[in-house]
Amino acid sequence: MRFSRRAGPRGRVLPGILLLGALAACAPVTRPAGEPVMAPAYADDALTMADATPLALHAWLPSRPPRAVILALHGYNDYGNAFDLPATRWAEKGIATFAYDQRGFGQSAMPGLWPGTASLVADAEAAVALIARRHPGVPLVLLGESMGGAVTALVIARDPPPELSAAVLVAPAVWGQDAMPWGYRASLWLLAHIAPGMELSGSGLEIWPSDNIPMLRALGQDPLVIKGSRADAVLGLVRLMDSGQASAGEMSLPVLLVYGEQDQIVPREAMMLYAGRLNGPVRFATYPQGYHMLLRDLGRALPVDDIASFVLDPAAPLPSGNEERSREFLFPATN
């Protein structure tokens, strides 16, 4: 292609300068935690972080003193009430469950703005200390679902909080950028820098996060569930997933990785890559009929009861009895 003198190199510099200016003017927006001004505090309805930000707290308590405690971290665009179905069942088994609205979600300040990976991890670590102080001497398990699973993976990697006795990863969001199509990564980066507030949604993609249709409809009517995502928040999530995938390694805590074989959100290949990098006291449980929202699926009884068994005794056989089959699903080349 030939260029006229007007459209030569100088003519191409100006659009480039304008593009760089647009990128600088529309950088992704984040709302990380502020400077610490107090010691984190526990209340019945909220956990207040060191920067004085309250995070709404949800609790499901057994009728007797708990045999174990779960601190649960919800998924992207969800909030703490996501665990109502499984936590009600766990309470019947003597397990107390606590879940807070993570920063940027639910009833927290400025929902929809990405708080950054470091803030999410710091909040989880503070919450672990607060809940452990509330229930001294009781086994405490950190459970993360989807986005919360990526946060949990980072919390327990290398130097986990001493208060934790085990961890559960439920369909953790560990789909790193390396496994994504190049065009998707490039488009997301560009959108997040040119139009960071552009709303993205999964409508029209025919992706089913669960087979529990009444539950999905209820989520659609819940005002605390975020329906559309800012482009810069999606970029933040992808970077968190990258960090979660990279965190895999030697685990010092007992870990149970739970995954639905019908998951249309986190690809099997990403889960296989992450699982293959884990070492230590790690167990796996996959469910042939399970979707991404395993703990709210129609067939949730199996994973919910498996998790309860693991929380009460990390070495006990899982009630589903499918650990051998799960390894065959996650590590087909070695079987």
- Express each pLDDT in 259-301 by its tens digit: 999 999 999 999 999 999 999 999 999 999 999 999 999 999 9
Pure H helices in the chain: 9-25, 84-92, 117-134, 147-156, 182-194, 213-221, 231-246, 268-277, 301-312, 323-330
- Is 107 among the domain residues? yes
Quick one: pLDDT at residue 10?
45
- Is 6 among the domain residues? no
* Total number of domains constituting the chain: 1
- Is 11 among the domain residues? no
Quick one: pLDDT at residue 29?
82
Quick one: pLDDT at residue 158?
83
In Å, what is the CA distance from 52 to each residue of 38, 48, 194?
7, 6, 32
Quick one: pLDDT at residue 4?
36
Per-residue model confidence as pLDDT tens digits over 310-334? 999 999 999 999 999 999 999 997 5
- Is 16 among the domain residues? no
φ, ψ (nearest 5 deg) of residue 127: -65, -40
Quick one: pLDDT at residue 157?
94
Judge whether residue 307 has pLDDT over 60: yes
Quick one: pLDDT at residue 182?
62
Per-residue model confidence as pLDDT tens digits over 44-87? 999 999 999 999 999 999 999 999 999 999 999 999 999 999 99
Model pTM score: 0.90
Per-residue model confidence as pLDDT tens digits over 132-174? 999 999 999 999 999 999 999 999 998 999 999 999 999 999 9
- Give Cβ neighbours of residue 206 (< 8 Å, ≥ 6 apart): none
**Domain containing 326: what range?**
32-334
- Is 12 among the domain residues? no
The mean pLDDT value for 84-96 works out to: 98
- Is 13 among the domain residues? no
Per-residue model confidence as pLDDT tens digits over 104-130? 999 998 899 999 999 999 999 999 999
Supply the CATH number for residue 89's domain. 3.40.50.1820
Quick one: pLDDT at residue 205?
67
